[in-house]
Amino acid sequence: MRHQFDHDIGNMQDRSDNDNASDPEEIRAVYNENLARKIEGKEPLSSYGGEKIDPKKLANPPNNKQSK
């Protein structure tokens, strides 16, 4: 859902074609997934595609706009 939100608010300019753990778009998506996991009492994710995400970026994702 975060990908669609980013698209809707025009927040895709930092998207990478690599879709890996350093892609800002994917870091924001994992960050949002972790918000839902916290509500459900689940452990947060720390990787994307088996690759560890920089913990500093995961705590504060790049270009993490909330609305237009």
Which residues of the chain carry a pLDDT beneath 70? Answer: 67-68
Q: What pLDDT sits at residue 38? A: 97
Q: What is the pTM of this model?
A: 0.86
Structure tokens at 33: 């997934």
What one-character DSSP code corresponds to residue 61?
A: -
Measured at the alpha carbon of residue 53, what is the angle toward residues 61 and 32, in degrees to the nearest 5? 45
| Residues in Cβ contact with 14 at an 8 Å cutoff, skipping those fewer than 6 apart | 24, 25, 62, 63
Residue 12: its pLDDT value, please? Answer: 87
